Every structure is written in structure tokens, then in C-alpha cells.
Amino acid sequence: MDLQLDGKCALVTGASRGLGYATARGLALEGCSTAINSRTPETLTSAAESLAKESGVKIVPLPGDVSDPNIPAQLIDQTIETLGGLDLLVTNTGGPPAGQFDSFDDHDWQTAIGLTIMSHVRLIRAAVPHLRQSTSPSVLTITSYSVKQPIPNLVLSNSLRGATVGLTKTLALEYGSYGIRFNSILPGWTETERVHELMSSRAEAHGTTLEEEMNKQAYASPFGRMGKPEEFANAAVFLLSPAASYITGVMLTVDGGMYKGTL
């Protein structure tokens, strides 16, 4: 299938590793010039160099913390300046810290709100005027299957990811007349650095090992394993592409069957 992404311009945040990196890689391999963002300049530069070498397309590293209210608009401006336009936007952030309800105060909640929902709001708000000029505009928010099935010890993420899903669905309705598509992917447990960090936290709390916790979580899938970043990216790239031109407002669970509900 021709995904019709050759020559498109994209911005992917949280893209120096994990799901964001895998998505940026998938877009680049389809011929999409891509700006990538993360908080750590050194890691981001290395990621950009790897992607450019593998794909042969223009990859622009744009460091910045998207939880800073000023950064999202700057990233959009820099993308337009360096790539000449914007067709695709992937809003992805690291998750808030693990912990139970009584371990967090107001400051922790406000910080998590800035990272987990307001970063999406600010990126999309700055991008919309430019997306309106694209012939195939598409936005993908990355959330978590926790919006359907809460994950133990992740009260901040469980509570706030749902707001991004609500935002995504609402914007799909509001901007459909402009041809801008909005979708979200709800990943399950995938073998990323973030998941290793969460499993290490579990291992410490339970007095077990990282390998034991990884194996226990893997058994939640009928496949008996966690997902791979590239499996997530395959779905993400398709949803972003013009090949998915009649798909909007979708909350796609990519979790290997870990979510057991029917809705």
C-alpha cells in the first residue's frame, strides 16, 4: 500500500527514544521530512543523525521541554521554518511518575497536568493555522490503554490521559470541516525505556527483579509478550497517512489484547 507520505512534513515530540522515536522512524522511512523533539539535546541529536542516515530524508532535532508553556509554539514555528510547512503532528510526552494517590501533592498534580494534557493543547493550538494550509493534515495524540483500564500505581497517568482522549475526539468533530483529522493511539505495555523504568519501580516495591516483572506483565497479553515499538509505529504511521483519509476521532488500542473490555 502506498501511504502517500513522500514529501510530507511532520513534527514528532518525545521522539529521542521509545514510541516517539519509532513513529518518527516510520514516517522518515516513508519519505516524510521530520522534526523531532525531546528534552535532552545530546540524545536528540544522536537520534536525528541515526534517522537521517537510515532514511535519507531531512531530520531536524528541536530540543525543548513541552511542559514549558512557551516551548510548544516555538517548536511549531521552528518546524515551519526548517521544513517549510506542517502536514502531520504527533503529540507525545513522557508519562508522569508512578505512585499511589496519597504520595502526590497539589504541585505534583499541576506538574502532571502541564505535561500530560496541556502540552497536547498548546502544540495543537499552535499547529492548527498551519495544518489548515496542508492538503492532508493529520494529528495523532499518544495516550495509554489506561484510559480504558487503569494501571496499578499510575494514578496521575490514569486520571489525566483521559483528558487527552476527550480533547482528541472533540477536535475531530470541530475541525472535520477543515479536513484536519485527529486520532489517538492507546498503547499497552511496549518494550521501551519508559516501561523498563516502570517495571524497575515495581520490582523495587515487590522485592523482585526487572525480568520477573517484565514477564508477569507480558502474560497479560494473549501473545504472552509485550509489544515492540515498531509494531506501535506501523499503526501510527498508517493513521497519520493520507491512506487513512476517512479515519478520524478514533481511539485505537494497540496493546496485544491486554485490554479485556469490549468497548
Q: What is the pLDDT averaged over residues 50-60? A: 98
User: What's residue 49's pLDDT?
Assistant: 97
The set of residues, in sequence order, having a beta carbon less than 8 Å from that of 14 and lying 6+ positions away, is 20, 37, 38, 66, 92, 93, 94, 142
Reported confidence tier of residue 261, pLDDT bands at 50, 70, 90: confident
Q: pLDDT category, 42, cuts 50, 70, 90?
A: very high
Decide if pLDDT at 203 tops 90.
no
Q: Is pLDDT at 60 greater than 90 in this prediction?
A: yes
Q: What is the mean pLDDT of residues 59-85?
A: 97
Q: What is the pLDDT of residue 240?
A: 98
Question: For residues 70 and 155, what is the distance between their CA atoms, to the nearest angstrom?
Answer: 27
Which residues have CB under 8 Å from 26's CB, separation 6+? 230, 233, 234, 236, 237
pLDDT of residue 213: 86
Going from N- to C-terminal start, the domains of the chain cover 9-188+229-254, 191-226
pLDDT value, residue 98: 86
Name every residue whose Cβ is closer than 8 Å to that of residue 197 and which is 6 or more positions away in sequence: none
> Residue 41: what pLDDT?
94
Output 62 or 188, whichever has higher pLDDT: 62
The three-state secondary structure class of 25 is: helix
Q: pLDDT value at position 84?
A: 97
| Alpha-carbon span 258 to 1, nearest angstrom | 28
Mean pLDDT of the chain: 94
* Predicted local confidence at residue 175, as pLDDT: 98
Mean pLDDT computed over 240-256: 97
Percent of the chain with pLDDT over 90: 82
Domain 9-188+229-254 bears CATH identifier 3.40.50.720:
yes
Output the CA torsion sign for 65, 67, 68, 72. positive
> What pLDDT is attached to residue 255?
93
Burial 49-69 (b: 16+ CB within 10 A, else e): eebbeebebbbbbbbbbbbee
Helix (H) or strand (E) holding 88: strand 88-91
Q: Please report which confidence band the pLDDT of residue 50 belongs to, taking 50, 70 and 90 as the band edges.
A: very high
What's residue 185's pLDDT? Answer: 97
Whether the CB-CB separation of 159 and 165 falls below 8 Å is answered with no
Arithmetic mean of pLDDT, 81-109: 95
The residue-averaged pLDDT of 129-145 equals: 97
